[in-house]
C-alpha cells in the first residue's frame, strides 16, 4: 500500500487514523456482526452513532443549546436553495460575492427572493475579501449570506461582516472545524462534509431554532424543509448513515488532539510554512491579497503557464497529487485541510525548492 500526499480541494484527504479505524470496523462494528453500512438507521446502535456525532460536534464548536444540528444530503449546493425557501419573509436577502460558490448561491436565491449584492471582489478575480465593516445592508433583508472560505480562490474572511442586526448565514464548507468560531454570531452555518470533515454525501447544518419556521410556502418539498428534518432528528428519511459515522470519527479525532484551538495552531503552522516560502521564492508566488489568505486552500503560480504545467506533472510523479488549480483560475492550489499532516507540507515545500533550483538559470 502506498499513500500519496493528496492536496485535493474536495473530496479531500481524511485522517489516516480515522480510515484505519473504519477499516477495522468494516465487517463487524462493535460486535454487531455487520458493517455500519448494513444496519438500519432506526436501530439503537445507529442512533448511538448519530447522537454521539452530534454531541461531539456540539462540544468541538461550543454550539449553544438554541441551535439545531442537522445531517442532511444534497451537498452544500442544495443549501443554496433551502436557505431562501425556508427563510424568505420580506422577500429580500443580501449576498456578499467573494467567489464562485457565493455567486451560485445568489443566483439560486434570486429565484425565490430579491437578491442584493452588497459587496463583491469580482473586479479583481476574487483575489481578496471586500471591506465588510460598513456594508449597505438592506433594511428589510431576511438574511445576509457569506461564503467564509473561498475554496477556488484561496481567500478567507478574517473578520465577520457587520450585518447591522440581520441574520448572518455562512457557507463554511471548506473551513468548518479549521479554527474556533463563535456560533452565536450566526443564524446558520452549513458545510458539505467532503472538504474538511468526511466523505461526500453528508451536509452539516447548524441553525438557530427560531429560524426553523413552519409558515413557509406549503408547496416546499418536505425534504427541503428544515422543520421536517429538525423534528425528525435528521431521520425523516434514511440519512447518509456511513457518512455520519465517519464524520463522527473525525470529530473524535479532533477532540482527542485538543479541539479546534489545537488544530487551528497546526493549521497556522502549516499555512505559514507554505506562504513564507511563496513570499520569498523567485519562481512561485501566492495569488491573493495577503490579508485575505486562506489557511485551507493555498493558491499560487510560477512565472509561466508552461512552468506551472511542468510543476504539476513533476509533483505528481513525486507523490504530490491534485495540485492543479481550479479550471477557472489556472495555476496551482494546495489544499491543506485539517487531515494534511505537517510532514506533507514540509515535503511539498522541499520539492518546490528543489524544482525552483532545477529550473532557474
Catalytic positions: 101, 171, 195
Cα gap 235→54, rounded to integer Å: 13
Q: How many whole angstroms from its chain centre is CA 107?
A: 20
User: Binding to ligand PLP by residue 10, rule CB under 6 A?
Assistant: yes
Among positions 90-149, residues that touch ligand PLP (CB under 6 A) are 101, 147
Is residue 273 within a helix (H) or strand (E), and if so which, with residue range? Answer: helix 259-280
The yes or no reply on residue 151 touching ligand PLP (CB under 6 A) is yes
Among 19, 21, 59, 75, binds ligand PLP (CB under 6 A): 75
What string of DSSP letters covers 66-84? Answer: TEEEEEE-SHHHHHHHHHH
Distance (Å) of CA 347 to CA 4, 296, 352, 354, 357: 11, 17, 9, 11, 15
Closest approach, Cβ 194 to ligand PLP, in A, equals: 6
- Give the x/- contact pattern for ligand PLP in 224-263, rule: CB under 6 A: ----------------------------------------
Neighbours of 123 (CB within 10 A): 9
Indicate whether 298 belongs to the interface with ligand PLP (CB under 6 A): no
Q: State the cell numbers at 359.
A: 529550473
Nearer to ligand PLP, 173 or 302 (CB): 173
| Binding segment toward ligand PLP, per CB under 6 A, in 43-51, 71-79, 176-184, 338-346 | 71-79
Q: Give CA separation, 339 vs 58, 133, 149, 263, in Å.
A: 20, 33, 17, 9
If one counts every other C-beta atom within 10 angstroms of the C-beta of residue 208, the result is: 17
Q: Contact letters (x/-) for ligand PLP, 193-212, by CB under 6 A?
A: --x-----------------
Complex with ligand PLP: residue 53 or 72, whichever CB lies closer:
72
Spatial contact of 41 and 241, defined as CB atoms under 8 Å apart = yes
Site for ligand PLP contains 285 (CB under 6 A): no
Q: Closest approach of Cβ 171 to ligand PLP, in Å?
A: 5
Instruction: Give CA–CA dist 17/141, Å, rounded.
Output: 45
Task: Find where cell 478575480 sits.
Answer: 125
Which CB sits closer to ligand PLP, 100 or 164? 100
Q: Which of 154, 192, 243, 325 binds ligand PLP (CB under 6 A)?
A: 192
Binding residues with ligand PLP: total (CB under 6 A): 12
Q: Does a cis peptide bond (omega within 30 degrees of 0) precede residue 302?
A: no
Stretch that binds ligand PLP, among 122-130, 166-174, 205-213, 219-227 (CB under 6 A): 166-174
Contacts of 213 (CB under 8 A, 6+ apart): 86, 87, 226, 227
Nearer to ligand PLP, 153 or 311 (CB): 153
Given the rule CB under 6 A, which residues bind ligand PLP?
10, 75-77, 101, 147, 151, 171, 173-174, 192, 195
Amino acid at each position: 500500500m502506498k499513500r500519496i500526499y493528496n492536496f485535493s480541494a474536495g473530496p479531500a484527504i481524511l485522517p489516516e487514523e480515522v480510515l484505519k479505524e473504519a477499516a477495522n470496523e468494516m465487517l463487524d462494528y462493535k460486535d454487531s456482526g455487520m458493517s455500519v453500512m448494513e444496519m438500519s438507521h432506526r436501530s439503537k446502535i445507529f442512533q448511538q452513532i448519530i447522537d454521539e456525532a452530534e454531541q461531539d460536534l456540539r462540544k468541538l464548536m461550543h454550539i449553544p443549546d438554541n441551535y439545531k444540528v442537522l445531517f442532511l444530503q444534497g451537498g452544500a449546493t442544495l443549501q443554496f436553495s433551502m436557505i431562501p425557501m425556508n427563510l424568505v419573509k420580506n422577500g429580500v436577502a443580501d449576498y456578499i460575492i467573494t467567489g464562485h460558490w457565493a455567486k451560485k448561491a445568489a443566483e439560486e436565491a434570486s429565484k425565490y427572493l430579491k437578491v442584493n449584492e452588497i459587496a463583491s471582489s469580482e473586479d479583481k478575480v476574487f483575489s481578496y475579501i471586500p471591506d465588510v465593516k460598513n456594508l449597505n445592508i438592506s433594511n428589510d433583508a431576511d438574511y445576509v449570506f457569506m461564503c467564509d472560505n473561498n475554496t477556488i480562490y484561496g481567500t478567507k474572511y478574517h473578520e465577520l461582516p457587520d450585518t447591522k442586526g440581520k441574520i448572518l448565514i455562512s457557507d463554511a464548507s471548506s473551513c468548518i472545524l479549521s479554527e474556533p468560531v463563535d456560533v452565536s454570531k450566526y443564524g446558520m452555518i452549513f458545510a458539505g462534509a467532503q472538504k474538511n470533515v468526511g466523505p461526500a454525501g453528508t451536509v452539516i447544518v447548524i441553525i438557530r431554532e427560531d429560524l426553523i419556521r413552519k409558515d413557509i410556502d406549503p408547496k416546499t418539498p418536505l425534504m427541503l424543509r428544515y422543520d421536517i428534518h429538525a423534528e425528525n432528528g435528521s431521520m425523516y428519511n434514511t440519512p447518509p448513515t456511513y457518512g455520519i459515522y465517519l464524520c463522527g470519527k473525525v470529530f473524535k479525532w479532533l477532540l482527542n488532539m485538543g479541539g479546534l484551538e489545537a488544530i487551528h495552531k497546526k493549521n497556522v503552522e502549516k499555512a505559514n510554512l507554505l506562504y513564507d516560502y511563496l513570499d520569498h521564492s523567485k519562481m512561485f508566488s501566492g495569488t491573493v491579497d495577503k490579508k485575505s489568505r486562506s489557511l485551507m486552500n493555498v493558491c499560487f503560480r510560477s512565472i509561466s503557464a508552461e512552468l506551472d504545467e511542468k510543476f504539476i506533472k513533476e509533483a505528481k510523479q513525486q507523490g504530490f497529487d491534485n495540485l492543479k488549480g481550479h479550471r477557472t483560475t489556472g495555476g496551482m492550489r494546495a489544499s491543506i485541510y485539517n487531515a494534511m499532516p505537517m510532514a506533507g507540507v514540509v515535503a511539498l515545500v522541499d520539492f518546490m525548492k528543489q524544482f525552483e533550483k532545477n529550473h532557474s538559470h
